Amino acid sequence: MKKKFMVVGGGGREHALVRVLSESPGVGEILCTPGNASTQRIAKCRNFPSDDNTDIVKLALSNRVDLVIPGPEVPLAAGLVDDLAAAGIPAFGPSAASARLEASKGFAKDFMARNGVATADYVRCRTADEAFAALDRFGFPVVVKADGLAAGKGVLICADRSEGEAAVNSVMVAREFGSAGNHLVIEECLTGWETSVIGIVDGSTFMSFLPAKDHKRAGEGDAGPNTGGMGVIAPHPQVDEAVWNDIKQNIIDPTMAGLGAEGLEYAGFLFIGVMVTSSGAKTLEYNVRFGDPEAQALLPLLAGDLTDYMAAAMGGRLKDVEPRWRGGAACCIVLASEGYPGSYETGYPISGISEAEETGARVYGAGVRSENGGILTDGGRVLGVTGIASNLKDARALAYKAIDKIDFKGAWYRKDIGVSALQS
């Protein structure tokens, strides 16, 4: 019997999840809540307009869903998986207790420290005075992080004490990130290059997707403020066997052991942000979900059936499974609204999506809604355009060729996604 899936979320990652599910022979219907203008175009998918956990549980129950896949962190941190479990509905993701690995940076850092997971030195601060006192502890630059969820924007890298004070003031006093700034973490600033290591986990195994490279800063050459991610390439050309062994030994293995020892294990996605420094690989953060836009680059590279891997994780059989890849490389570029990651306007008509798809690239809808048959902008990150090819250079060329066909008022994207990886 074909299974009925429900994907929670309305961004590009969820479009990528719905699309890959729709390609699986074992999948019957797919529900998506709230979904977006792009998920709605997939024949097997029905959108439901809710992002409230109570409504989502009701929806899953009344539609007799076999498995729920939450995309974003907010419903996970708010206990969606616990609520679904109480209603007897299986879900692929962590409980609220495990989601603290993402929802509290201080919790995550203490977890890493307890379990010998390589990471930057840090101090947790509960008041602005504690933070001002700790600012000088690691020298400058220093990193100030809002403890809670801030859509990838709550990390501030401060060149000197005055920038550090301004960061503490904006996070803890002005509450620029709301209650995410109740507490903060001050952290040693690492230098090196980054990779997104995403896996499917069960109680003991981390089944890794290809290591990816996100481009988090808004500006060319990795300048400007942090965003949710402006583009991704995969596989990451700098992650060779020695780097991978370092990541496995000093980050993945102690993380998995720690999750088990502390009763935090779950079946779902685990995303580890890693910085490879001259003194080895260090953990930047955990996310208890797939990355966005990493999903738009990694999922199309999968040759095996995602639902088989998820079933293996739910059954605790992941150690027996090897992921299968198509080969080649992916490059996903994000097309954003003017003003993102700051404030922006929405509601502008988008043109050229079909022309972009005619090039062979995939266009994922992130912040998009439909109106009178057309597609309008509806978020900061509007679309993700992914090129897949036999190598990174060609994947990149395809993605840029396709993105040039798309337009809306104020549209912008980084022109240098993948450039530094090609040069290294």
Cα 174 to chain centroid distance, Å, stands at 27
Beta-strand pair 3-9/27-34: parallel
How far apart CA 290 and CA 13 sit, in angstroms, is: 7
Number of residues forming the site for ligand AMP (CB under 6 A): 15
> Shortest approach of ligand AMP to residue 157 CB, angstroms?
6
> What's at 178, amino acid-wise?
G
Cβ-based nearer residue to ligand GLY, 206 or 269: 269
Q: Answer whether 379's CB lies under 8 Å from 337's CB.
A: yes
> Shortest approach of ligand AMP to residue 110 CB, angstroms?
15
Q: Which string of x and - marks every residue 217-246 that binds ligand GLY (by CB under 6 A)?
A: -----------xx-----------------
Beta bridge partners of residue 34, listed in sequence order: 9
Q: Answer whether 45's CB lies under 8 Å from 18's CB.
A: yes
- Count Cβ neighbours within 10 Å for each residue of 88-104 and write b for 16 or more, e otherwise: ebebbbbbbebbbbbbb
Handedness of CA 60, 305, 284, 393 (dihedral sign): negative
**Residue 119 has which token pair?**
């990471």
Beta bridge partners of residue 271, listed in sequence order: 198, 287
Among 56, 65, 144, 155, binds ligand AMP (CB under 6 A): 155
Q: Taking CB within 5 to 8 Å according to partner kind, which of ligand AMP, ligand GLY, none is near residue 291?
A: ligand GLY
> Shortest approach of ligand GLY to residue 208 CB, angstroms?
16
Beta-strand pair 231-234/213-214: antiparallel
**Residue 109 interacts with ligand AMP (CB under 6 A)?**
no
Q: Answer whether 148's CB lies under 8 Å from 124's CB.
A: no
**Residue 151 interacts with ligand AMP (CB under 6 A)?**
no
Tracing tokens 């896996």 back to the chain, one arrives at 199
> Shortest approach of ligand AMP to residue 151 CB, angstroms?
10
Cβ-based nearer residue to ligand AMP, 286 or 408: 286
**Residue 149 interacts with ligand AMP (CB under 6 A)?**
no
Cβ-based nearer residue to ligand GLY, 14 or 83: 14
**Residue 198 interacts with ligand AMP (CB under 6 A)?**
no
211's CB contacts (< 8 A; 6+ apart) are: 195, 196, 197, 234, 235, 236, 239, 244, 247
Interacting positions 156-195 with ligand AMP (CB under 6 A): 157, 187-190, 194
Beta bridge partners of residue 272, listed in sequence order: 197, 286
Contacts 24+ apart (CB under 8 A), 169-173: 169/128, 171/144, 171/146, 172/125, 172/127, 172/128, 172/131, 173/128
Number of residues forming the site for ligand GLY (CB under 6 A): 8
Q: Which string of x and - marks every residue 269-288 that binds ligand AMP (by CB under 6 A)?
A: ----x----------xx---
Q: What is the DSSP letter of 224?
A: E
Among 67, 91, 120, 298, binds ligand AMP (CB under 6 A): 120
Q: Which helix (H) or strand (E) holds 76?
A: helix 73-77
Q: What is the DSSP letter of 235?
A: S
φ and ψ of 226, to 5 deg: -70, 145
Interacting positions 262-321 with ligand GLY (CB under 6 A): 287, 291-292, 294
Q: CB nearest ligand GLY: which residue?
A: 229
**Residue 226 interacts with ligand AMP (CB under 6 A)?**
yes
Q: Taking CB within 5 to 8 Å according to partner kind, which of ligand GLY, ligand AMP, none is near residue 143?
A: ligand AMP
Tracing tokens 């966005």 back to the chain, one arrives at 292
Q: Taking CB within 5 to 8 Å according to partner kind, which of ligand GLY, ligand AMP, none is near residue 292?
A: ligand GLY
Cβ-based nearer residue to ligand GLY, 89 or 272: 272
Interacting positions 147-166 with ligand GLY (CB under 6 A): 152
Cβ-based nearer residue to ligand AMP, 27 or 143: 143
**Residue 406 interacts with ligand AMP (CB under 6 A)?**
no
Q: Which string of x and - marks every residue 160-199 that binds ligand GLY (by CB under 6 A)?
A: ----------------------------------------
88's CB contacts (< 8 A; 6+ apart) are: none
Q: Taking CB within 5 to 8 Å according to partner kind, which of ligand GLY, ligand AMP, none is near residue 287?
A: ligand GLY
Binding site for ligand AMP (CB under 6 A): 120, 143, 152, 155, 157, 187-190, 194, 216, 226, 273, 284-285
Binding site for ligand GLY (CB under 6 A): 152, 214, 228-229, 287, 291-292, 294
